[in-house]
Chain A
Amino acid sequence: MKEITRAAIAILLIAGILLYVVNIMEKSSATSGGGTISVYNWGEYIDPELIKQFEKETNISVVYETFDSNESMMTKIEQGGTTYDVAVPSEYAIEKMKENKLLQPIDHALIPNLKNIDPYFLDLPFDPGNEYSIPYFWGTVGIAFNPTLLDGQTFESWNDLWDPSLEQEVILVDSAREVIGLGLNSLGYSLNSTDMDELREATDKLKTMGPNVKAIIGDEIVEMMRREEAAVAVIWSGQAADVMWVNEDIDFVVPEEGSNLWFDNMIIPKTADNVEGAHAFINFMLDPEVAAQNADYVGYSTPNEKAIALMDPEVTEDKRFYPPEELRERLEVYENLGLEMLGTYNELFLEFKMDMEN
Chain B
Amino acid sequence: MAKLSKSAKIYLILVFAVLYAPIFYLIFYSFNSGGTMASFEGFTWEHYGAVFNDTRLLIILMNTVIIALLSSLFSTAIGVLGAIGIVFLRNRKTRNTVLSLNTILIVSPDVIIGASFLILFTLIGVKLGFASVLISHIAFSIPIVVIMVLPKLQEMSTSLIDAATDLGASKRDILTRVIIPYIKPGIFAGFFLALTYSLDDFAVTFFVTGNGFSTLSIEIYSMARAGITLTINALSALIFVVTLGLVLGYYFFNQRTGQSPGTGGAKL
Contact = CB atoms under 8 A, between A and B. Distances in A.
Contact of B66 (A22, A29, A82, A222): A22
Contacts of B177: 1
Contacts of A7: 188
Contact of A15 (B38, B58, B66, B222): B66
A340 interface: no
Given A3-B261, A26-B59, A246-B38, A79 B118 contact: yes
Contacts of B229: 44
Given A22-B62, A246-B35, A1 B226 contact: no
B217 interface: no
B63 A22 contact: yes
Interface string B205-236: 01001111010000101111111010000000
Contacts of A22: 59, 62-63, 66
A76 B223 CA distance: 18
A77 B121 CA distance: 14
Interface in A19-69: 19, 21-22, 25-26, 29, 38, 42-45, 48, 63-68
B225 A44 contact: yes
B128 A66 contact: no
Contacts, number: 110
A1 B127 contact: no
Contact of A21 (B62, B180, B209): B62
A82 B227 contact: no
Q: Is the interface of A mostly helix, strand, loop or mixed?
A: helix
A226 interface: yes
B55 interface: yes
Q: Is the interface of B mostly helix, strand, loop or mixed?
A: helix
Contacts of B180: 1, 4
B148 to A, nearest CB: 14
B184 interface: yes
A247 B184 contact: no
A227 interface: yes
Nearest to B211: A82
Given A1-B181, A26-B59, A247-B38, A44 B73 contact: no
Nearest to A38: B212
B59 A38 contact: no
Given A1-B177, A42-B226, A48-B56, A18 B65 contact: yes
Given A18-B62, A25-B55, A25-B58, A226 B224 contact: no
B66 A18 contact: yes
A81 B128 contact: yes
Contacts of B212: 38, 63-65
A48 B231 CA distance: 14
A68 B224 contact: yes
Interface in B134-150: none
A82 B56 contact: no
A19 B66 contact: yes
B70 interface: yes
A149 to B, nearest CB: 15
A104 B206 CA distance: 26
B189 to A, nearest CB: 13
A219 B225 contact: yes
B55 A81 contact: no
A66 B176 contact: no
B82 interface: no
Interface string A205-229: 0000000000000010010001100
Interface in A287-317: 298
Interface of A: 1, 3-4, 7-8, 11-12, 14-15, 18-19, 21-22, 25-26, 29, 38, 42-45, 48, 63-68, 72, 76, 79-83, 219, 222, 226-227, 242, 246-247, 298
18 contacts: A1-B177, A3-B184, A8-B77, A18-B65, A29-B55, A38-B212, A42-B226, A43-B219, A44-B223, A48-B54, A63-B212, A64-B56, A66-B222, A76-B210, A80-B122, A81-B210, A82-B129, A222-B227
